Amino acid sequence: MSVYTPGQVAEETGFSLDTLRYYERIGLLEPVGRNAAGQRRFTDRDISWLGMVRCLRDTGMPIAEMIRFAKLTRAGDHTIADRIAVLGEHDRRVEEQIAHLRNQQQAIKRKIHYYRDALAAQQAAEPDACDGLPEVPESPAGLSEAHPVAR
């Protein structure tokens, strides 16, 4: 089994060292093993669990609910139905958040469309900077005839 330093775990999981200590203190993370010098050493199992914690946190599960889920997980297989219920309720809330964000995104898209139309109308209404200037002939021959050069 591999062991990891707190710094390695912080880098792997994206949690700060303070957050890792906090999660251990509040019981979200099981007590972490220590080496002979008393330094924390994490296992693959800890990193895997922290991946789940990251998922729950990133999707907005409150810490109290994460602690409840952690306790159920540690309690054994007789709590599987309860764990399903906790995750199912959280999944329902995540679905609501996604629907809300999609509605907000549609409002943003409508505003982008509105501004694009406004910009196009503004650009169409702006006069050409060359309006009112005399026409310049396209060919060099026409240029010399229109404006003879004194030699």
**Looking at residues 87-113, what average pLDDT do you find?**
98
Q: Edge-to-edge, what's the strand order for the sheet holding 3-4?
A: 3-4, 40-43, 33-34
| DSSP symbol at 132 | T
The conformation of residue 121, written as its DSSP 8-state character, comes to H
- From the list 52, 54, 48, the residue with the least C-alpha distance to 16 is 54
Question: What is the C-alpha to C-alpha distance for residues 41 and 71, in angstroms, rounded to an integer?
Answer: 21
Is 127 a member of any domain? Answer: no
Classify residue 120: in a domain, yes or no.
Answer: no
Q: What is the pLDDT of residue 1?
A: 78
Number of domains in the chain: 1
Q: Does residue 123 sit within a domain?
A: no
Chain segment 75-88, per-residue pLDDT in tens: 999 999 999 999 99
Write out the residue range of the structural domain in which residue 21 sits.
3-103
Which CATH number goes with the domain that contains 35?
Answer: 1.10.1660.10
- Whether the CB-CB separation of 43 and 4 falls below 8 Å is answered with yes
DSSP notation for 30-65: PPPEE-TTS-EEEEHHHHHHHHHHHHHHHTT--HHH
Q: pLDDT tens for residues 20-37? A: 999 999 999 999 999 999
The answer, as to whether pTM is greater than 0.75, is no
Query: Residue 144: what pLDDT?
Result: 57
Q: Assess if residue 113 is contained within a domain.
A: no
Residue 61 lies in a domain: yes
